[in-house]
């Protein structure tokens, strides 16, 4: 009998375990030298100039908003088809999330025509979301934002290893780019995130804000607790507690070392799905020719009229785990109350949501698992 195939399971090798044990034995387990090393490796990998490791992508986004001084009266445009963290960090700063619909295609990306149409004098930033690792058209977005002096904060939670026009996501010149290293992500530190920027002052401020706003806070392991260090510190800004630990970075260093191999496996599985699933009316993620997707997710749009929840239940009976993940934000109670949104406001996002399932694509599964999923999707949706 086919064992249950989980939707997403992290892969941890012996080398990560050894690095983690080394950190535990070192006597330094919070933010320290391994966080600095991990930041350096991420910069080398992406081509960005400055990095600030954080406890989560949500924390990185929150600190980016804070460092850019977003607050009451400011608006930040973003897709409604995203996780709550994107809008939550804006609302927590006192600014207002402004939602736009997704493109008419199956890209799952925000409609840049709507972005341009919704700009007002209060618009201070735009937050593109690279759903499933599928890059937003950044040149078009910059053409909209830069002449107007509007900041760009990339929610790149899904996109470590994706590229746009031959350059890695993280290196295209946005004010801030925020990655997630959560347990299910392509690169996992269990919990973790990172902000990248080409603005040295912004990255430095985010590092400081991530440790209460304390001066030299990210060098505690060297400047305060070494033999040559000093106990004195100053709180220069009102910050938060959002730093990454060396224990997390120990995992990330080696997860990054095999990220390209892992993403290649995801891309191969995506091709098996697209070549093998032969169901009239299904749609796959649409990726532009100028981009490479890291395939954090494999979204499958079911034919119109198919009961999505019934398909999920039947696949589970066949030992196949799936997920939906995002319900459009404008449908959630908190955002209905905050923004007075309602069903029907963003019809394309709602249509995607009602047709969507995400199939397993983690390298923790096998080719046989993927082929089994293809066979059962075809059998379930095109019964003989």
> 213 and 78 share a domain?
yes
Q: Among 239, 257, 275, which residue terminates a domain? A: 257
Which CATH number belongs to the domain containing residue 348 in this structure? 3.90.1150.10
Write down the pLDDT at residue 233: 83
pLDDT in tens, 275-285: 999 999 999 99
Write down the pLDDT at residue 383: 73
Measured CA to CA, the distance from residue 319 to residue 297 in angstroms comes to 19
Average pLDDT, the chain: 95
- Does 364 map to a domain? yes
> 267 and 235 share a domain?
no
Q: Which of 34, 124, 185, 205 is flagged as catalytic?
A: 185
Measured CA to CA, the distance from residue 348 to residue 344 in angstroms comes to 9
Which CATH number belongs to the domain containing residue 177 in this structure? 3.40.640.10
> 48 and 93 share a domain?
yes
For the chain, the domain total comes to 2
pLDDT in tens, 95-120: 999 999 999 999 999 999 999 999 99
Measured CA to CA, the distance from residue 370 to residue 276 in angstroms comes to 10
> 130 and 146 share a domain?
yes
Coil, helix or strand at residue 72: coil
Measured CA to CA, the distance from residue 28 to residue 39 in angstroms comes to 17
* Poorest-pLDDT segment among 28-32, 136-140, 224-228: 224-228
- Please check the confidence at residue 326 and state whether its pLDDT lies above 80: yes
Tell me which residue range forms the domain holding 229: 14-257
> 141 and 75 share a domain?
yes
- Does 1 map to a domain? no
* Average confidence (pLDDT) over 145-160: 98
Measured CA to CA, the distance from residue 132 to residue 340 in angstroms comes to 28
- Give burial (CB, 10 Å; 0-12/13-18/19+) of 129: buried
Write down the pLDDT at residue 384: 65
Q: Among 209, 232, 257, which residue terminates a domain? A: 257
- Does 352 map to a domain? yes
Hey, CA dihedral for 197, 201, 202, 203, is it positive or negative? positive
pLDDT in tens, 206-230: 999 999 998 876 566 555 566 666 7
- Does 282 map to a domain? yes
Measured CA to CA, the distance from residue 265 to residue 259 in angstroms comes to 10
Q: How many angstroms separate the Cα of 214 from the Cα of each of 107, 152, 290, 334?
A: 42, 26, 42, 33
> 80 and 184 share a domain?
yes
* Average confidence (pLDDT) over 355-359: 98
> 204 and 183 share a domain?
yes
Q: Are 381 and 311 in contact (CB under 8 A)?
A: yes
Q: Among 217, 235, 257, which residue terminates a domain? A: 257
Based on the residue annotation, tell me whether 271 is a catalytic residue of this protein: no
Write down the pLDDT at residue 221: 56
Write down the pLDDT at residue 218: 57
- Does 7 map to a domain? no
- Does 87 map to a domain? yes
DSSP 188-209: --SS-EEEEES-HHHHHHHHHH
* Average confidence (pLDDT) over 357-383: 96
């Amino acid at each position: 009998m086919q064992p249950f195939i989980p939707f997403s399971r992290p892969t941890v090798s012996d080398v990560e375990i050894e690095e983690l044990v080394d950190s535990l034995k070192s006597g330094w387990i919070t933010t320290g030298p391994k966080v600095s090393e991990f930041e350096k490796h991420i910069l080398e990998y992406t081509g960005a100039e400055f990095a600030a490791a954080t406890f989560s992508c949500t924390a990185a986004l929150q600190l980016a908003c804070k460092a850019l001084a977003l607050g009451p009266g400011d608006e930040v445009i973003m897709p409604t088809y995203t996780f709550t963290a994107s809008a939550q960090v804006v609302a927590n700063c006192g600014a207002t999330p402004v939602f736009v619909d997704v493109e008419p295609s199956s890209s799952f990306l925000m409609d840049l025509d709507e972005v341009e149409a919704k700009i007002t004098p209060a618009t201070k930033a735009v937050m593109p979301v690279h759903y499933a690792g599928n890059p937003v058209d950044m040149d078009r977005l910059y053409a909209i934002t830069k002449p107007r002096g509007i900041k760009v904060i990339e929610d790149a939670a899904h996109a470590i290893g994706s590229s746009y026009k031959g350059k890695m996501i993280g290196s295209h010149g946005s004010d801030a780019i925020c990655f997630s290293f959560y347990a299910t992500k392509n690169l996992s530190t269990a919990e973790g995130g990172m902000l990248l920027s080409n603005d040295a002052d912004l990255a430095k401020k985010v590092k400081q804000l991530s440790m209460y706003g304390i001066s030299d806070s990210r060098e505690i392991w060297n400047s305060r607790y070494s033999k040559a260090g000093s106990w004195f510190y100053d709180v220069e800004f009102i910050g938060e507690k959002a730093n990454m630990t060396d224990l997390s970075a120990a995992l990330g260093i080696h997860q990054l070392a095999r990220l390209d191999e892992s993403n290649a496996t995801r891309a191969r599985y995506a091709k098996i799905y697209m070549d093998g699933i032969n169901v009239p009316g299904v749609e796959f993620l649409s990726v532009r020719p100028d981009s490479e997707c890291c395939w954090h997710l494999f979204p499958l749009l079911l034919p119109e009229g198919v009961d999505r929840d019934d398909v999920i239940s039947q696949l589970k009976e066949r030992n196949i785990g799936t997920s939906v993940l995002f319900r459009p934000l404008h449908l959630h109670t908190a955002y209905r109350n905050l923004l007075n949104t309602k069903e029907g406001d963003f019809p394309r996002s709602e249509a995607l949501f009602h047709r969507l399932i995400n199939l397993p694509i983690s390298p923790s599964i096998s080719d046989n698992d993927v082929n089994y999923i293809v066979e059962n999707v075809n059998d379930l949706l095109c019964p003989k």
